[in-house]
Every structure is written in structure tokens, then in C-alpha cells.
Chains A and B, each alone.
Chain A
Amino acid sequence: DQQVKQNSPSLSVQEGRISILNCDYTNSMFDYFLWYKKYPAEGPTFLISISSIKDKNEDGRFTVFLNKSAKHLSLHIVPSQPGDSAVYFCAAMGQGAQKLVFGQGTRLTINP
């Protein structure tokens, strides 16, 4: 039972344009959401997070939007840069738990 889903295995975006990565979840007990970026042979690197009491969080080029009624979150990267090419993971955490539940990841490729 996949509680966190990233339905797009891959995404290709032109340099300078906006990249939008999507994530859906099924468990209404999730109250904290994080995005990680992963390069091959490295561990995931934390990008940005959002608590369920907010619907938007910004950090530089990265913005995360949370739609609790739709159980959907998205990560916007503007403008996209070649160094953003990586696999992006959405993760969720439930109340009272430290455990992260991850999506399957989306491979983002930024084309020059």
C-alpha cells in the first residue's frame, strides 16, 4: 500500500523554466512533509519542508505547496538550473512518529 505516491517517474524541463514536481498521499495522519534531492552514490539532501498548518513555504528558488483537502503537494523550482538535475523524493511524517514515508521519486532533467 503506497501511502505516498509520485506518479511521474521522470520530468524534463528547459533551463530557466519552472519545474513542478507532484506528490499525492493517502494517510490523513501525515502532518509534516519534506522534499529531498538525491544524486547517484549520495544520500538524499534535504531541500524544503512544510507543516500541515501551512499551505505554502518558500526558500529561494524552491516553493512547496500543500493542498490538504486534495492530499496533494507540489514542489516548484524557479528558475530551473542544470545542477537541479537529480532524483527528487517527497516524504511524509505522521503525528508522533519520526518515520519518513517516501514516494518512489521523480527524475528531473534540466536541458540547456
Chain B
Amino acid sequence: KAGVTQTPRYLIKTRGQQVTLSCSPISGHRSVSWYQQTPGQGLQFLFEYFSETQRNKGNFPGRFSGRQFSNSRSEMNVSTLELGDSALYLCASSSRPRAIQYFGAGTRLSVL
């Protein structure tokens, strides 16, 4: 069974641009969560989707948004990029809410 796939693996953007990251969950998994990892703040929860609905959102500004499609694939979007958005963005999927979350390899975003 294929794991969680995140694309692209690396991304370089400049301040003010926007970016879209993609996540394909493990086959059969309907819950997708997104996390941001930075050296200063560690791993922080961004949001969670289940059956195309956002169920939880972390403490991030409205520039961070996401969505989930009917095939459970998910995208997250960051608009008006800031230098502080440079981070590793991780996607995790689970078969249902409250089940074990399995992580992808992440997308490393650098904002210049």
C-alpha cells in the first residue's frame, strides 16, 4: 500500500507570492491533517479535513487555507507569503478521526 504522498518536495518562493501544496493520503484514508514544522515553534497543527469538511483549525492566520476533494486528496494554500512561512509542511492521513496519523515526507518551503 502506498504511503502519504506530498508534492512538491521542495519549493522556493518570494515574499508576497502564493503557494499550493498537495497531499495524497493512503488509499482508503478519509481524514487528512496538515502540520507546520519550524526550528522555533516545532510541529504545529494547521487544519484537519474529513469527508471534504474542515473539522479543526489551528492558530494560524487566514492566509493559510486548505481543502479536500471527493477522492480525499487535499491541498493547502498560503497566500501573501512571508519570510516566517519558511518551514517543512507535513500532511498526515488516517482512516478516520482519532485514529493513528501517518505522515508524508513533507514539502520544504523556502520564502526569500
List the interface of chain A (C-beta within 8 A of B): 32, 34, 36, 41-46, 49, 89, 91, 93, 97-105
Instruction: Check B43–A102 contact: CB distance below 8 A.
Output: yes
B104 within 8 A of A: yes
Bound together, the chains give a CA A103 to CA B105 distance in angstroms of 19
CB contacts (< 8 Å) of A43 on chain B: these are 4, 6, 90, 92, 103-106
Contact between chains at B45 and A100 (CB < 8 Å): yes
Residue of B nearest to A46 (CB): B100
CB of B31 within 8 A of chain A? yes
Q: Contact at A49–B35, with CB atoms within 8 Å?
A: no
Minimum distance in angstroms from A76 CB to a CB of chain B: 20
What are the 8 A-B residue pairs with the smallest beta carbon separation, nearest first? Answer: A43-B103, A102-B43, A99-B45, A98-B97, A98-B48, A44-B103, A43-B105, A104-B42
Rounded to whole angstroms, the CA-CA distance of A99 and B44 in the bound complex is 9
**Most chain B C-beta atoms within 10 Å of own C-beta, residue among A34, A43, A46, A103:** A43
Please give, as numbers and ranges, the residues of chain A lying within 8 Å of B33 by CB-CB distance: 98-100
Question: In the complex, what's the smallest C-beta–C-beta distance from A26 to chain B, in angstroms?
Answer: 16
B51 at the interface (CB under 8 A from A): no
Asked if A99 contacts B98 (CB within 8 A), the reply is: no
Within 8 A of A (CB), among B16-46: 31, 33, 35, 42-45
Given known pairs A43-B4, A43-B90, A43-B106, the reply for A100 and B101 (CB within 8 Å) is yes
Given A98-B31, A98-B56, CB of A45 within 8 Å of CB of B42? no
B64 contacts the other chain (CB 8 A): no
* A-B pairs with beta carbons under 8 Å apart, 28 shown: A34-B100, A41-B105, A42-B106, A43-B6, A43-B90, A43-B92, A43-B104, A43-B105, A44-B43, A44-B90, A44-B103, A46-B101, A46-B102, A49-B100, A91-B43, A97-B56, A98-B31, A98-B48, A98-B56, A98-B94, A98-B97, A100-B33, A100-B43, A100-B45, A100-B92, A101-B45, A102-B35, A102-B44
